[in-house]
Amino acid sequence: MIGIFDSGLGGLTVARAIMATLPGYDIVYFGDTARTPYGSKSRETVSRYAIENTHFLMENGAKIVVIACNSASSVATKQLTGKFTIPLFEVITPAAELSVSVSTKTRIGVIGTRATINSGIYEEKIKKINPAAKVYSAACPLLVPLVEEGWLKKPETRMIIKKYLIPLKARQIDTLILGCTHYPLLKDDIQRKIGKKVSVIDSSLAVAANVKAYLDQHPETDASLSRSGKADFFVSDITDHFEKIANSVLKQKISLNHILL
C-alpha cells in the first residue's frame, strides 16, 4: 500500500491528490490528531513523531511512505531516510522544482508553518536548482487552525491571509508555494489576495505527480503495491469535528479508525 502521514487532517489534500493521480492504488493514511499541530513544535519533537508514524504505516502494509506534512518534511526527512530503507517522499522538493520551472522572474514566495519557514528548506532546495533565484518566506501559523475550524471564505480569514501576504506582495513575487498541506483549502482566497498574475503552487499536486513518476521508473516497487482501490484512514484521536473535517477535505464520507500509537 501507499502510506501517507500528516500531523492531522491537512494531509488528506495529499491523499486526495494521490487517489486522483494513481486511481486504484491502495492507500493507508495516518493523521496524528492526538498531537496535532506539528508546525509550532520543535525539530526534535516533530522528528520523534515522524519516526513513530512511519513505523505505524509500515506495520500496516505501507511499502512506500509519503510525508504529507510540510513541517515533518522540513525537519524530519533526513532522520527518516537514515532510519528507513523503503522509498520515502516528502512534499518540499516537488513543490520547489515546480516553482522554479513555472517562475518567470524567479522571485518565489513561500508560505508555511513556523517550523517549515524557520527550517529554511524551501530556500535551500530552490537555490540548489537555481542559485540566482530570489526566495521570500512568510510563516502563517494561524492558517492551520482557521482551516481546522472550517473558517474557509470568512472575512476574518481573508483579512489574516491579506496581512500575512503583505511582505510577499511587496517583494513582487511571481510564484507562491503553498508550503503547508492545509493551504490548498484556502487556495482561492490566497490567489485573490496575492493577485491573479502570481502562479500558486499546490504542493499536494506536486508530490502526487512525483510519486507517479517514481513508480513509472521503478516497476519493481510499483509491482509491490496492491491495487484493490482500498483506502484505510487511521487517526490517533477521534472527535465528531475531526470526522466532519475529513469528509469535507475528501469530499466523500470516510470512516476514521482510532488507534493509540
As annotated, the active-site residues are: 69, 180
Q: What is the DSSP letter of 184?
A: G
Binding mask 45-84 for its own copies (x = CB under 8 A): x---------------------------------------
Binding region for its own copies (CB under 8 A) out of 41-49, 51-59, 66-74, 175-183:
41-49
**255 lines the binding site for its own copies (CB under 8 A):** no
Give exposure, 108-140, as e/b (b: 16+ Cβ within 10 Å). Answer: bbbbbbebbbbbebbbebbbeebeebbbbbbbb
Task: Compute the distance between CA of residue 215 and CA of residue 208 in angstroms, rounded to an integer.
Answer: 11
Q: Are 129 and 143 in contact (CB under 8 A)?
A: no
**149 lines the binding site for its own copies (CB under 8 A):** yes
Figure out which of the listed residues 7, 30, 41, 147 binds its own copies, where binding follows CB under 8 A.
Answer: 41
Task: Compute the distance between CA of residue 202 and CA of residue 182 in angstroms, rounded to an integer.
Answer: 10
SS3 246: helix
Figure out which of the listed residues 20, 24, 42, 167 binds its own copies, where binding follows CB under 8 A.
Answer: 42
Number of residues that bind its own copies (CB under 8 A): 26
Single-letter amino acid, residue 54: T
**241 lines the binding site for its own copies (CB under 8 A):** yes
Site residues, its own copies (CB under 8 A): 33-35, 40-42, 44-45, 114, 141-142, 145-146, 148-149, 151, 155-156, 159-160, 163, 236-239, 241
